[in-house]
Amino acid sequence: MSFFRALTLLWADYHLLKAGVYAWLAARLPLEQLLVARAAIGWATFLPLLAACLFAGPHLYRLFHRSGVTALVARWFPGDLQSPLVPRSDG
């Protein structure tokens, strides 16, 4: 479960960083150049991350475990986060 939490944090960090880059570019470029730069940066960064998640999932899983990312995420988010839409089988 902590692998999926780590993967979610990876995507959240990606979007947060990309938003910061877009804001920085917006303060420095005219609109026409900004739109071209955003399109180029967006696709050039999104597609490799998406491909890594879709096609290299087992490799990411091993990498996260070997590097201690999943253990760190498990410490940050302890416990079982049960979805409110899934009925509990508490008996």
Domain positions in the chain: 2-76
Q: How far apart are CA 14 and CA 75, in angstroms?
A: 21
Residue type, position 75, single letter: R
The answer to whether the beta carbons of residues 9 and 75 sit under 8 Å apart is: no
Q: What pLDDT score was predicted for residue 29?
A: 95
Give 25-46 pLDDT, tens digit per residue. Answer: 999 999 999 999 999 999 999 9
pLDDT for res 40: 95
DSSP string, 19-34: HHHHHHHHTTS-HHHH
pTM: 0.73
Q: What is the pLDDT of residue 71?
A: 84
79: left (phi over 0), alpha (psi -120 to 50) or beta: left
